[in-house]
Each structure stands twice: as structure tokens, then as C-alpha cells.
Structure 1
Amino acid sequence: MEKTKRPLVLASVMLAMFVSAVEATIVSTAMPSIAAELGGFSQYSWVFSAYLLMSTITVLLYGKLSDIFGRKRIFTIGMLLFLLGSLLCGLSTSMDELIIYRFVQGLGAGAVMPIATTIVGDIYTREERAKIQGYLSSVWGISAVTGPAIGGVLVVTIGWEYVFWVNLPLGILSLLGVLLFLKEPVNHKTPVIDYKGAVLLMVALSSLLYLLVEGGVSFSWLSMQSLILFLSSSLLIVFFVLVERKAVDPIMPFEIWRNKTILYANLVSLATGVILIGISSYLPTYVTGVMEQPAAIAGFTLTAMSIGWPLAAFFSGRLLLKIGYFKTSLAGGVSLVLGTLLFVTMQPSFGPLWAAMSSFAIGIGMGLTSTAFIVSIQAAVSYEQRGAATASNMFMRNLGSTIGVALLGSILNSSLLRYFAENGQNYTLSSINDLLSKNTRVEMPIEVLRFLQQALAESLQIVYLVTAFFAVLSLVLILGLRGQKGVKGHVK
């Protein structure tokens, strides 16, 4: 059989990961402008939630399907759906349309990142993976320099639509590289697809997400509607676990979770997913609306995180071999706590440099932990389970982000409404839209501007307190890795 052209496949995989990384940074930077043009600040979090929900639900199914049908075929389906969603997002004329098209984009995104990462696990040896995964994470550095900067330029020149359309040529090029140069072993297994588990998971997460996004805003947390949604999602999750234990080939093979390295790595990824989405979703809003900085500066503050991530990931691969899995992960956990505490103490007068410094510390923590987890998980399983194992880690981080953006969005909206009520003002959430555009800010009476900025600043500080809690939780969970056999034990 013809051999895989590893350098060309690696380049294609890095390009696919670049598309995913750019999507995260560009959209976050452009969201204040999108919300200002399309309206609907109360639906702000749904733009992220829709994407994350679909990618979270499908990542496990894609991982399992790639183990059955091969990486190439499933990667192709995912990338095509992602590109279709990107095209449609740019054509949106309302916030409702954008949210619907983000569902389509997320449906494809569930395949792109985990299968790209799994392909690397397939074509490189255990000894090579630590270094290569570090290189892959450097993609975040490239996206850091180009993503937010290009996003800011596009928003103020030709329009926010192009933050979605920039994915199209890059995604097509990546897809062609994988199709042409990746050669896979023939799989003779009879396909057994766990459709029942996939449907249960989708409905359970959808119910939970709707509760977290709309709770405290559209209906009270203590209402009958909240109770029904909570009980429904809890019951469906129980059914999902029961179905998975009996399934012939489950999308979530629970036996891999018996490995404590995988268990703790995935639980930490759940917590870091909340942190990641909390910072990337709402930092541009703070910098634009409260600090009154343009989109390009808001992008710069996110760029700092995206620079810290690849720098740490680059050294993480080497640290794994020198000091081991636990100490590398622990250093990352400490950096996450430091970064979130810097955000908690941030004041509008501190300026964007403080925001960038805080963001950089988060990036360092994410780079150290994420690289360590992926390399160790892939070393702990066979080829037949590598797709599902890698997907399980991506699933937990995506699940954390899905829950995080919904939970934090609900906290932000309810905090704003409470602030308005406590100060005897009848403003609505749509009033915040006026803070996100320079043109509308200059037309506002100064006392109204300062009131709304104070409301947004204090509400976002509560959001940052929640991310700090999850950072501390992730550090405690990392302590559970003490004594576990990590990469150092595998490759030496």
C-alpha cells in the first residue's frame, strides 16, 4: 500500500486546526460589531452556544465513526459541513439566522479538531507525538497573530461577514491535502453505530443548555419550567449512561475512563473549557464596551492568550519528557488560577494591557495542560480506541465550553437586569448594544454611558469570579494525577 506523506498530511492537519483556531478568535473579536449591527444582545451567548452545542454533541459520534470508517472519510464530511456553515453565517441578516447557521457550522466542527489531532496520533510514534503535538499547538500562535488582527481589520473595512468567509479557501486546501496524501489501513469491521446513545446525548445536552441560557432571564430559576428542564436533562443523562453500558460499540466507551490518567485529564478539560469560553467570549465585550477600545485592540487582548498557548505548548512537549506528566499539568493549573485572578481584579482604568497580561497567563495554562492531556491519552490506548479516546477529551472541553457559555451568559444577563433594578432604572439588555459601537456611544448622555459601563463592568466581574472558581477546581483535579503513569513513563 502507498505510504502516507507525513509532512504534507501534517501541514494539512495544521491548516485544519488553524481554521478552527481562527474561528474562535475572529468571531469573538467581531461579536460586538455583529451585535451592534444585527441587534439582540440578549441572544449574544446563543451565537457561541449553538456552535458549541452541535460540536459537543457530534464530537463523540465523529470519533467513533472515524474508528469504524477511517479518519479521512469522516474528516471530509465534517469539513464540508463546517465550510457550508461558514458560508451561510456570512450571509446572515439577523441574529436568529446567524444562530441557526452556527448550528450547521458546529455540526461540522465536531469532526475537524479531534480527527485532525487523531490523525497525528496515527502517523507518528509515541516518542514523536510529544514534540509534534507541541508544533500543532503552535497553530494557535499563527492564528493569534492573524486571526484577531485580520478580524479587526475586516470588521472596520469590508464587514464582519468576512470573518466567516475567510475559512472557505483555507478549509478547502486542508481537505484536499488530507484526501490526497493520507493513506489509511483497510478496516474490515462491521459498522455498529450507537444512534440511540447519540440521540439521548443530544436531547439531554439541549435541555440543559436551554435551562442555563434562559434561566433567570426568560423564566425564573425557581419556576416549574426550570424544574422540568433540569429533571428532563438529568433523567436523559442517566438513560444515556445505561444505554452506553449495554451498547455493542458505544460512542462513549466508559472502559477507557477507568484509566485514571484519562479520567482526571477529561475532568480538568471540562473545567478549562468553562474558563476558555468565559474569557474568549466576553473579554472583547469588556474591552470594547467598558474600556471604549476599537475592535483591533479587543482582538489584541485575545491575541495575548493565543500567543501564550503555543509558547507553552511548544515547551510542554519537552517538559513532559523531562519532568513528567503531573508536574507539567500542575504548572498549567497554577497559571490558569493566576490568570483568572488577574481578571477578577481588573478595573476599567487598568487598560487593555492588563487584560492582555491576564489573557496571556490563561494561554500559558491552556498550552501546558491541553498538550499534556492529548499526548498522554493517545499513549494510553490502542489504534482502535484512539479516535474515541481523543474525542472524549475534546468532548469534555467542548462540554465545559458549552455549559460555560450558557451558564456565564445567563449570569451576565441576570446580573445586568439585577443591577438595573437595584438602581431604579428600567433599561433592558438591548441597551448594552449601544456600548459596543463608537458611533452610538458618542451620542449617549455621559451619565447614561457611565451607568451602563459600570453595570457591564460589575456584571462581567461576577463572570470572572465564576471562571476563577473553575480554575481552582481544575488545579485540585490535577492533584489527582499525582503518581499516575504519564508520557514520561510511556516513552522512556
Structure 2
Amino acid sequence: MLVMFMGAIEGTIVATAIPAIVGDLGGFSHYSWVFSSYLLMTTITVLIYGKLADLFGRKIIISIGIIIFLIGSVLCGFALTMNQLIVYRFVQGIGAGAVMPIATTIIGDIYPKEERAKIQGYLSSVWGISAVMGPAVGGLLVEYVSWRWVFWVNIPIGFIAMIGLWVFLQESNVKRKASIDYVGAILLTVSVSACMLVLVEGGVQWEWYSMETILISMISFVTLILFILKERKTPEPMMPFSLWNTRPILIANIVSFLTGIILIGISSFLPAFVQGVMEKNATIAGFTLTAMSIGWPIASTLSGRLILTIGFRNTSILGGISLVIGGSLFVFIVPEFGPIGAAVSSFFVGVGMGLTSTSFIVLIQEAVAWQQRGIATASNMFMRNLGNTVGAALLGGILNGQIMRYFSKQGNDIGELLTLDSTNKLLNEEERNTLLPEVKNLLQEGLEISLHTVYITILFVALISFFLIFLLPRMNVDSNEKVVNK
């Protein structure tokens, strides 16, 4: 729970502080890279850590991840430029890849299957605690101390978590001979990195049909094909495709990818809407994200009970409905609704995430033995993280491109003088107050319209995930605590 708290509070507290960070360091055009750099390394390393946890045990691998995560957190707090922060977020992401999936895997190890659904739900209460503390603490630190402390608060939590694991967690499973797929890891890193680069810079720094875009897209596609071919021939693949032969795991992982896009779209860009368009402070912006993070653990706790009564599929369908409701509310949100309107929309998204994610994790862990539980759990985390990574890049690219198009079409002479980095001034109250009324209105209208384009994309993704859930077979836990296919 401490390890999960560290990972959970990092997400809420940094998302709250990021407008202030951009306002201080500048570089709004790199806004999405602060999230993308972290998520990229988390996405790549989660599979490696999952495999290593199956080979060497959970305790040593998660400890290594925590140490790297804390080193990255310290460096992020000392960043002097946006480029430095992005690099240090890479380091932080390398460690974060071990935190959430292995913590979830440990729960699968130490609890019998009849208790696992309930405990996974209770464990998500950590998200509720971090949801209340993270944005509130983050907002207070930004306003009264410095945004740098939002990274440094991880340090005592990480040390306490690591001590607790070494004192209390006992592992007796025999460790197998190591066989790590380094080539597969490199190919996947290149493929995802190239894809993310195209999504972020395409239509902004590069034209969609430019030589740079085409070349990097080809690199991403070719390395992806090579990765798939390599994994099929490797005795110990980083991504065992045999896991995907089971339809529940396949559907769960695809939907997790889509919900990852939804999650990062809300957590990354909602604070910018609240601060830049509604002109509220960082604490209030954090409150709107708190609503999502409160809805998540409440729904996760209920999900543990619903799985035992109505089954995995129906529980997931309820989650899909909630995601669609939340996405629809964001599409119609206007500044006049205020933070309460944003919080209500955010809450429904959190409920949808809680219902679906808990159902998927329990379903996947029931379907495999101990020797594959780490990589199976990691594969689901990988798909959600991949959705986060692609979503941050894709939605960031949509946001940046839409802002520039709005400035060029609606700004007349003023628009010609504005750049993406001009939006920085909306996120800093002092600079916002110095803007001429016509410039301020143009910037706010551009940001609002561009963010609504992002929300429309999120709703579309939510609808796709909802219909995919219906492809899940009707699987329940019967009275003997066994998963049965109806």
C-alpha cells in the first residue's frame, strides 16, 4: 500500500503543479513531454520488471525500482530548465515501471483467489488517500513554498515502503535461470519512442507529410514488426504473446490501452483548463483531479463485491458506461460551469476506471500461475501505460496543433505575434494580469477550443472501449472460488 501510495500521489501532485512548473521554466510547447518522457520509460520498463520479478522474486526487483524512482525525483526537484526536467522525468519513469505492477502482483501472491477481488478493491483506497492529499499538498506547495517540493515528498514515502517490504514480505518460490530479452526491449523502446515523437511533433514542428514525419513513422513501424518477430522466436520473451491467446486477457488489455488514453487526457490537461481558462489557482485545479481519484477507489472497492455477484463482464460494462458519461460531460463543459462541473465530470471518469481496472487485474491473475503472474499483470499495466504514453503524445499534438490553427485563423495581426509558448502566460496569474484584454481573450478562447477538441477525442475513445467490453465472455467466480466461463 505504501508503494502504491508513492506512485499514486506522484501522479496527482505533479499534474496539479505542472502549470506552475511550465509558468516558471517556460516551454509550453513541451508541456506534453513532461508526461510523455515519464510514461515512455514506465511503459517500456514495466514488462522488463515483470519478467525480472518472475525470475528473481518480487522484493529485490521492486526495491531497485523504488531506488531509481527516488533518484529521479530528487533530480526533478533540482531542474533548472524544461529540457532538464524532461530528462530527469525519464529517470523517474525508469524506476516507476516497477512500482505499480509488482505491488499489484504481490497482492496476487499473498492472497488466495477467493479474497483477491475484495483485497484488490480495498488496496485501491490508497488512490483515495492520495487523491485528497496529492492535489491539496501540491497546490499548497506551489503557492506557498515551491513546485520543486512536489517531487521531493516522494523520498520519505519510498524509504518507508522499502523498509516495510524487506521486513515483512517473505518469498519462498524457487528462482529460475535468468534469460532476459534485451533485444526485444531495445526494439520496443525505439518503436514506441519514434511513434511518440511523431504524435507530439507532427502538425506542429513538422508537417504531417514531411520527410521527418514519414521517416520516423517508418522506423516505428519496422521496429515494431521486428519486435513481434523477435518475441515469437525467443524462449523467454519480454511479451509472451501466448498470454494474448486467451480472449478475456486480449480484450482486457486492449480496453486498458484505450482507458489509458482517457486517463492521461484528463489528468494532463484538466489543470490547464481550470487555471488558464477558468482562472482558478493550483489548489482548485487539484480539487477537480481529486474528484477523479476519489471516484476510482470507491468504484474499485465496489468492484470487488460486484465481481462476485454479477461477474467480470457486467462489472466492466458498468465501468464503460461511467467512462462514456464522464467523457460526454467534458465535451459540454464551459467555464461558466466552474470547478464543480469539472469535478463532476472527473468523478465519473474515476468511477469508470475503478470498475474496469479492478475487474481486469483480478481476471488476468486468475488466468495464470505464479510463474507468469508478474509478466501477465505487467502486460496489462503495459497496455494502460502505453495508452498513457500514446495519449499524452497524441492529445498533446492535437492541442498544440489546434492552438496554432486558431491563432492563425482568428487572431488577425495579434495572432501572428503569438506562439505556443504565449499560452504560458495564462498559467501564471501575475503574467496573466499583465496581458491586454484582447490578447488574453484570444489566448483563452484558443486554449478552450483546443481543449474541447481533446475532450471530443476522449469521448470517442470511451465509446470504442465501451463496445469492446461486450466482447468479454461471461466469466464469474463460482461458489468454489473458481473462474468459470459461461
Distance in 1 (CA, whole Å) between partners of 2:390 and 2:205 is: 18
- The aligned residue for residue 135 of structure 1 is 122
- The aligned residue for residue 464 of structure 2 is 473
Q: Does 1:415 align with 2:405?
A: no
1:318 to 295, 302, 305: 305
2:56–2:175 Cα contact (<8 Å) kept: no
Write out per-residue CA displacement over residues 429-474 of structure 1, whole angstroms, 9 at most, x where no aligned residue. 0110000011111111112111110000000000001111110011
1:78–1:107 Cα contact (<8 Å) kept: yes
Identity %: 58
- The aligned residue for residue 85 of structure 1 is 72
2:310–2:476 Cα contact (<8 Å) kept: no
Structure 1: any 5+ residue segments left out of the alignment? 1-13
- The aligned residue for residue 255 of structure 1 is 242
Write out per-residue CA displacement over residues 395-447 of structure 1, whole angstroms, 9 at most, x where no aligned residue. 00000000000000000000000000112211100110000011111111112
- The aligned residue for residue 9 of structure 1 is none
1:36–1:437 Cα contact (<8 Å) kept: yes
SS at match of 1:323: helix
- The alignment yields a C-alpha RMSD, in angstroms, of 1.0
Write out per-residue CA displacement over residues 317-367 of structure 1, whole angstroms, 9 at most, x where no aligned residue. 000000000000000000000000100000111111100000000000000
Name the amino acid aligned to 1:167.
N
| 1:489 Cα deviation from its structure 2 partner | 8.2
- The aligned residue for residue 335 of structure 1 is 322
Structure 2: any 5+ residue segments left out of the alignment? none
Name the amino acid aligned to 2:119.
I
- The aligned residue for residue 431 of structure 2 is 440
Distance in 1 (CA, whole Å) between partners of 2:35 and 2:175 is: 39
2:368 to 343, 365, 381: 381
Distance in 2 (CA, whole Å) between partners of 1:471 and 1:185 is: 42
Name the amino acid aligned to 2:307.
L
Q: Does 1:460 align with 2:451?
A: yes
- The aligned residue for residue 255 of structure 2 is 268
| 1:188 Cα deviation from its structure 2 partner | 4.1
Write out per-residue CA displacement over residues 232-281 of structure 1, whole angstroms, 9 at most, x where no aligned residue. 11111111011001101001011111111110000000000000000000
SS at match of 1:249: coil
1:257–1:263 Cα contact (<8 Å) kept: yes
1:451 to 442, 452, 459: 442
Write out per-residue CA displacement over residues 76-101 of structure 1, whole angstroms, 9 at most, x where no aligned residue. 11000000000100011110110000
2:128–2:296 Cα contact (<8 Å) kept: yes
SS at match of 2:470: helix
Distance in 1 (CA, whole Å) between partners of 2:372 and 2:335 is: 48
- The aligned residue for residue 6 of structure 1 is none
Distance in 2 (CA, whole Å) between partners of 1:152 and 1:124 is: 37
List aligned pairs for 1:47-126, cutoff 5 A.
Answer: 47-126=34-113
SS at match of 2:7: helix
Write out per-residue CA displacement over residues 210-246 of structure 1, whole angstroms, 9 at most, x where no aligned residue. 1111111110111111111111111111110110011
SS at match of 2:236: coil
The number of equivalent residue pairs is 478
| 1:482 Cα deviation from its structure 2 partner | 3.7
| 1:187 Cα deviation from its structure 2 partner | 2.2
Relative to structure 1, is the Cα distance of residues 452 and 53 closer, same or farther in structure 2, using a 3 angstrom cutoff? same
| 1:490 Cα deviation from its structure 2 partner | 7.6
- The aligned residue for residue 290 of structure 1 is 277
Q: Does 1:200 align with 2:181?
A: no
Name the amino acid aligned to 1:346.
I
Write out per-residue CA displacement over residues 268-314 of structure 1, whole angstroms, 9 at most, x where no aligned residue. 00000000000000000000000000100000000000110000001
2:27 to 36, 40, 49: 40
SS at match of 1:481: coil
Distance in 1 (CA, whole Å) between partners of 2:111 and 2:325 is: 34
- The aligned residue for residue 481 of structure 2 is 491
SS at match of 1:491: coil
Write out per-residue CA displacement over residues 133-164 of structure 1, whole angstroms, 9 at most, x where no aligned residue. 00111111000110000000000011001100
Distance in 2 (CA, whole Å) between partners of 1:177 and 1:396 is: 29
Q: Does 1:174 align with 2:161?
A: yes
List aligned pairs for 1:143-162, cutoff 5 A.
Answer: 143-162=130-149
Relative to structure 1, is the Cα distance of residues 402 and 490 closer, same or farther in structure 2, using a 3 angstrom cutoff? farther
Distance in 2 (CA, whole Å) between partners of 1:442 and 1:209 is: 35
| 1:384 Cα deviation from its structure 2 partner | 0.2
2:308–2:476 Cα contact (<8 Å) kept: no
Distance in 2 (CA, whole Å) between partners of 1:125 and 1:479 is: 28
2:239–2:379 Cα contact (<8 Å) kept: yes
Name the amino acid aligned to 1:180.
V
Per the normalisation by structure 1, the TM-score is 0.96
1:114–1:391 Cα contact (<8 Å) kept: yes
Distance in 1 (CA, whole Å) between partners of 2:68 and 2:452 is: 37
Write out per-residue CA displacement over residues 370-396 of structure 1, whole angstroms, 9 at most, x where no aligned residue. 000001100110000000000000000
Distance in 2 (CA, whole Å) between partners of 1:188 and 1:89 is: 35
